[in-house]
A and B are shown apart, each in its own frame.
Chain A
């Protein structure tokens, strides 16, 4: 069964340092997508970064990068140069199946990691 596992309930990082948030996934579908979302205390889920299962290179979006290790089924989020505004819950999510017209894009989420950035 498809599953996302985030084993770090909480993490601390000093401002301006890098931090890695762990995510492992389980799926039998060869085509899938992996997402990271940020959820501040306001509740809205903010998209950060995406990695497709057939993408050859690790995804990067500004200070966010995704360390995708397909054989290990891991998709860790790396945040470089942490800022105070990065303090939030972070969720890893997976979409199973290919992207094409007519397919649903249901997301399966992990339990999240609460990141606290310290000055």
Chain B
């Protein structure tokens, strides 16, 4: 049973460029959340996708957008990259139907984005 997978593992971009990060949820999961973790900080919630729609959004600008596909995989897009966007981007998946009271999120290994 594959866990949450993310690609690529590392990425280097320059200011002003655009980037797309990808996430495949754990088998049986239908909900994908994205988090940004700056160096030395805890993860911060970007947004969550369920049924191909953005259900909740954190305090991030419109430069951050996403998509969820019918197979539940998801993409995170960031436009007009800034130096401050350098971070570890974590994807987490969960299931609304079978999660139980924990509604636990399973995290992927992350994509480390460096903006120069």
Chain A: residues with CB nearer than 8 A to chain B?
A: 4, 33, 35, 37, 42-47, 50, 52, 91, 93, 95, 99, 101-112
Contacts and interface: CB of A to CB of B under 8 A. Distances in A.
Interface string B91-103: 0101011011111
B73 to A, nearest CB: 18
Interface bin, chain B: 20 to 34
A107 B101 contact: no
Nearest to B104: A47
Contacts of A46: 107
Given A50-B104, A106-B48, A45 B97 contact: no
Interface string B53-86: 0011010000000000000000000000000000
14 contacts: A33-B102, A33-B103, A43-B88, A43-B112, A44-B107, A44-B110, A45-B107, A47-B106, A52-B102, A93-B42, A99-B100, A104-B50, A105-B33, A105-B48
A74 to B, nearest CB: 17
Contact of B108 (A35, A44, A50, A103): A44
Contact of B96 (A50, A52, A101, A112): A101
Contact of B33 (A101, A106, A110): A106
Contacts of A99: 99-103
Nearest to A95: B103
Given A95-B103, A104-B50, A105-B31, 16 more contacts: A33-B102, A33-B103, A44-B108, A45-B90, A50-B104, A52-B101, A99-B101, A99-B103, A103-B96, A104-B33, A105-B33, A105-B48, A105-B94, A105-B105, A106-B33, A112-B41
